[in-house]
């Protein structure tokens, strides 16, 4: 097949008129306190930090910086709520509170979507169609488990742990809060949650929802801050369980920090997922999947398909098509409904990505970027692919967490598989082939917790998610996600 003849003429005539989502229906306070015991309270230090819009670099709100004392206050509220209210409630009633959160989130979905895109830089299409609906769906799914837990654990008696401390990342702010809070509450625990310092706004809005849903005060507490606040949660002696999503490096620190404390933990960490395309794959479909796999959410996805292995006989075709497709991606205003790739979440993350672009070139790889324009202000990275890379290159081994794809080739299935598995990570993987038997052979042999075949980056509340090897410990989502928040008695 000639790649020339199959190239679509994207570059002449097709211009999209701006289609920005309006923001006039959204209210963001100038300042947010800490959400403890169903009230917004001042931080003990009186310190606040700014959260900014990464697409404009403008300040959106100032956010309380929680100290160790503030975290302690939140934990005490959570403990009290656990002992006095939440653990005494009938399980079915507990479930009804969680259903209520899901419903209010659905009602306020548009507002949440806009705020998510403002605060985090992700395209409104993703916030609107993925983040917010999935977050609501998570609450709805786990709500129903509250009074059915015994059915999930044959022969055991599942009991709540107590207070869960949860620390979440900035790539899917509300969705990660839902992943953490929903199962914790359904299993009968109370929560102290810390959102990421660059994306606290939807968590503060979720606090409003929790207050409006009339949950007993202290069942969910949300404290904002940076690493020190997270450390105060991890190290707090009256927390029974730590749930963390973030980098493998911090995951290691947490596992060490809580050693010997008896705290239960789940860690959802980094990844360097591979997509592997066989010559017999539906190539156009695969190219779409690869593009979605690495450029979805600016590549700020722990399970992003950041490595690509193409069977040698179709490599030229696939790479040409990828370049063509990359050229058509619209990078820019996250609030514009046409936008495919929004803003990089923070100046710091942009710096990290750019340092990897430099490393990639210095290691001898060939870099191709889209020629698209990017706005003058804000943090932007053009979609990027590297070819001519080898297994030992840092851009192949290390998580970049940006829209950067490293492409390699393989000849035999065995060679491809070896390369796919040649990583300390094991979060996800993707297989593209039209042969059913080959799909199952590959999906069985890829050492990763989530494997997508002829699709990629799909999520659902019923579907467990989590890593093998250094990508983490435990699962979130689905029936298997309950285990993380329960003690199973004989």
Partner 1 sequence: MAGSKSRMPVAKTYKIYIGGKFPRTESGRYFTIDGGDGSVIANICRGSRKDFRNAVVAARKAFPGWSGTSAYLRGQILYRIAEMLEGRAEQFVAELVLQGVSKRRARKEVDVSIDRLIYYAGWSDKYQQIFSAVNPVSSPHFNFSMLEPTGVVSVLAPDDSGLLGFVSNIAPVIVGGNTTVVLASEQRPLCAVSFAEVLHASDVPAGVVNVLTGYREELTGQFASHMDVNAVVYCDAEADDAADIQVRAADNLKRVVDRVGTDWSSENAQNPYRIKDTQEIKTTWHPIGS
CB of 467 to partner 1, least distance (A): 8
Which of these is catalytic: 116, 197, 302, 303? 302
CB of 464 to partner 1, least distance (A): 5
Distance of CA 399 to the CA centre of its chain: 14
CB of 259 to partner 1, least distance (A): 4
Alpha-helical regions (H) of 60-127:
68-84, 91-107, 109-120, 124-126
> Which is closer to partner 1, CB of 154 or CB of 237?
154
> Which is closer to partner 1, CB of 347 or CB of 439?
439
* Residue 299 phi, psi (nearest 5): 80, 5
**Torsion over CA: 477, 160, 226, 48 (sign):** positive
What is the Cα–Cα distance from 119 to 171, expressed in whole angstroms? 11
Burial class (CB in 10 A: 0-12, 13-18, 19+), 93: exposed
The answer to whether 390 and 408 are in contact (CB under 8 A) is yes
> Which is closer to partner 1, CB of 43 or CB of 461?
461
Distance of CA 388 to the CA centre of its chain: 29
Q: Helix 132-145 to helix 91-107 angle, to the nearest 10 degrees? A: 170
CB of 156 to partner 1, least distance (A): 7
| Binding positions for partner 1, rule: CB under 8 A | 137, 154-156, 248, 251-253, 255-256, 258-260, 267, 269, 424, 439, 443-444, 447-455, 458, 460, 462-466, 468-473, 475, 478-480, 488, 490
> Which is closer to partner 1, CB of 248 or CB of 297?
248
Which of these is catalytic: 21, 268, 399, 470? 268
* Residue 56: other Cβ atoms inside 10 A: 16
CB of 277 to partner 1, least distance (A): 16
* Residue 46: other Cβ atoms inside 10 A: 8
Looking at the chain, the number of H-run helices and the number of E-run strands are 17, 20
> Which is closer to partner 1, CB of 87 or CB of 443?
443
> Which is closer to partner 1, CB of 364 or CB of 424?
424
> Which is closer to partner 1, CB of 80 or CB of 148?
148
The answer to whether 442 and 421 are in contact (CB under 8 A) is no
CB of 313 to partner 1, least distance (A): 24
CB of 380 to partner 1, least distance (A): 30
415 is catalytic: no
Q: For residues 125-148, b (16+ Cβ closer than 10 Å) or e, as one string?
A: bbbbebbbbbbbbbbbbbbebbbe
* Structure token digits, residue 191: 């929560």
Catalytic residues: 268, 302
């Amino acid at each position: 097949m000639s790649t020339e003849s199959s190239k679509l003429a994207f570059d002449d005539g097709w211009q999209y008129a701006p289609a920005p989502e309006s923001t006039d229906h959204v209210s963001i306070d100038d300042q947010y306190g800490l959400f403890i015991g169903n009230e917004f309270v001042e931080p003990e230090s009186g310190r606040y930090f700014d959260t900014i819009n990464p697409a404009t670099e403008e300040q959106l709100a100032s956010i309380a910086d929680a100290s160790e004392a503030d975290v302690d206050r939140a934990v005490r509220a959570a403990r009290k709520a656990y002992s006095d209210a939440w653990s005494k409630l009938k399980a079915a009633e507990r479930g009804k509170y969680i259903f209520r959160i899901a419903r209010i989130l659905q009602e306020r979905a548009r507002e949440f979507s806009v705020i998510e895109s403002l605060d985090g830089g992700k395209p409104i299409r993703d916030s609107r169609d993925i983040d917010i609906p999935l977050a609501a769906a998570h609450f709805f799914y786990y709500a129903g488990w509250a009074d059915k837990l015994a059915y999930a654990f044959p022969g055991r008696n599942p009991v709540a742990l107590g207070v869960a401390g949860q620390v979440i990342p900035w790539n899917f702010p509300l969705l990660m809060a839902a992943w953490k809070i929903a199962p914790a509450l359904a299993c009968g625990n109370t929560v102290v949650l810390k959102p990421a310092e660059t994306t606290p706004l939807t968590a503060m809005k979720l606090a409003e929802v929790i207050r409006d849903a009339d949950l007993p005060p202290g069942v969910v507490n949300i404290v904002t801050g940076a690493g020190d606040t997270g450390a105060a949660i991890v190290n707090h002696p009256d927390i029974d369980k730590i749930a963390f999503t973030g980098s493998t490096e911090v995951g290691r620190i947490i596992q060490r920090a809580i050693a010997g404390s008896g705290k239960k933990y789940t860690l959802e960490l980094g990844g360097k997922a591979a997509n592997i395309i066989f010559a017999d794959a539906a190539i156009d479909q695969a190219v779409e999947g690869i593009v979605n796999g690495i450029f979805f959410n600016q590549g700020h996805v722990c399970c992003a398909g950041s490595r690509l292995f193409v069977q040698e006989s179709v490599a030229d075709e696939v790479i040409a098509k990828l370049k063509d497709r990359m050229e058509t991606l619209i990078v820019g205003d996250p609030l514009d409904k046409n936008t495919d790739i929004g803003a990089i979440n923070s100046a710091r993350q942009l710096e990290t990505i750019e340092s990897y672009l430099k490393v990639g070139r210095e290691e001898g790889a060939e870099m191709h970027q889209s020629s698209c324009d990017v706005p003058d202000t804000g943090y932007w990275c053009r979609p990027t692919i590297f070819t001519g890379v080898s297994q030992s290159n840092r851009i192949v081994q290390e998580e970049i967490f940006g829209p950067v794809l490293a492409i390699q080739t393989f000849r035999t299935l065995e060679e491809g598989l070896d390369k796919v598995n040649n990583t300390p990570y094991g979060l996800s993987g993707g297989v593209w082939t039209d042969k059913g038997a080959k799909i199952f052979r590959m999906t069985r042999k890829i050492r990763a917790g989530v494997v997508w075949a002829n699709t990629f980056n799909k999520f659902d509340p019923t579907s467990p998610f989590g890593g093998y090897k250094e990508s983490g410990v435990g699962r979130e989502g689905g029936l298997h996600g309950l285990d993380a928040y329960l003690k199973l008695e004989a």
